[in-house]
Structure 1
Amino acid sequence: MSEAVVKLSKAAIFQNQNLILKDVDLTVNKGEFVYLIGKTGSGKSSFMKTLYGDLPLKQGEGFVADYDLSTLKEKDIPFLRRKLGVVFQDFKLLNDRTVKENLLFVLKATGWKEKPKMDQRIEAVLSKVAMETKAFKYPYELSGGEQQRIAIARALLNEPEIILADEPTGNLDPQTSVEVMEVLQEINKNGNTILMATHDYALILKYPSKTLKCDEQQIFEVVQKTV
């Protein structure tokens, strides 16, 4: 039986008092690569924010990595986020710290104590994204694609149950988008579950996979047309 990492049933997603999505019923199983598509303003980001605890789930049921979103307390959010890896469009790296210091910062913030183990983990995630030679560079010394690889490495630090990638190629040119996508595909092959919000249809055609669409306050699965 497939193991669900994300499961929502009759869920309604609100941003403040505004209803963004209603009657959301969906499951993302362990090991899946799932796209989330839809026009700007269709609710993709609000949906992602609900999954990582930035927006409360006020209606319906929702479980992410065994956390019940409908009863999630403020104090539980950091623990939920340790089970998730979040990758943003704008990288969100700290420019005044080197790549290694950026990654150390996350490990310390999530309770790691032993330096040798931290060093080992950083080396492991950087090699997964082919950036092991860049540990002592500052983010501003890297290209956009390299910064996004570091952001993906950061998302992998705590061996998350799912990676939520919110428009990870949104700021990148087509060639670099493909390179970042290759990294995500590779990580998925190694067993990581990935949910990726995107409006880059060229990538979806190149790397077809299960696709959910936000439209008219609904999320539904899109059946890929085979050419």
Structure 2
Amino acid sequence: MQADRLKGIKSKIYHMSVLYVEDDKDVREQTTKNLELFFSKVVSFENAVDGLSYFKSNPVDIVFTDINMPQISGLEMIEKIKKIDPNVKVVIFSAYDKTEFFTKAIALGVDMYILKPFTIEKLLDTFEKIAQTSKNLIYLDGGFYWDKKSSNLLKENRSIKLTKNEILLLELLLSSKNKIISSLDIENAVFDDDLNNNKRVRNLISRFNKKIGYMLIENIYSQGYKIKCIS
């Protein structure tokens, strides 16, 4: 059962990238190893200045951070990060249990506040909560994911601008994500006229794959098209 639980958690969050900031070397190294078991990319720093500098040019999906660190605190870093990307998930690992820290964290939009020392079980519970908050997301191949609520395609927490027809195309393919959709069905769902010309379907999909720099929609010979999904 535990193995199934671990596999289930990883399948939902592995595509996410992580920034981890912790000034205690031993804690940082051990926690980084644990994070790397569940997330595809984990970058760690020993202080918030370096962590913030990295985030400015390398957007991530989740920030894990301590509070009490030299130069600037974790809370100060979070405040600056949230100004850059209000939607990034933030989890605090801290030994501070005073109300003032909880209040400040809530005001900054922190998703979770985990008291140190924490166990592996507590870490797994945290990962599960992260997975649950991502229930509106469909995870796609190549590090992409689709937000069903906002009809946005994202990668590394950044939205990719799509045309109306591209959105309709993705919504159709994702409505039957494990099935092959024929060119005719795509044409009927995406285009507003009665013309029967599958060349424009090929062109639409070709332009889309080229735009995102990845063959996310594949052509199944003589059958139709299918989108590459993870979950």
Mark yes or no: TM-score above 0.5: no
Calculate the TM-score normalised by the size of structure 2.
0.24
Pick 1 or 2: higher relative contact order, CA cutoff 8 A, min separation 6.
1
Larger Rg: 2
Could you say which structure has the higher strand fraction?
1
Calculate the TM-score normalised by the size of structure 1.
0.24
Could you say which structure has the higher helix fraction?
2
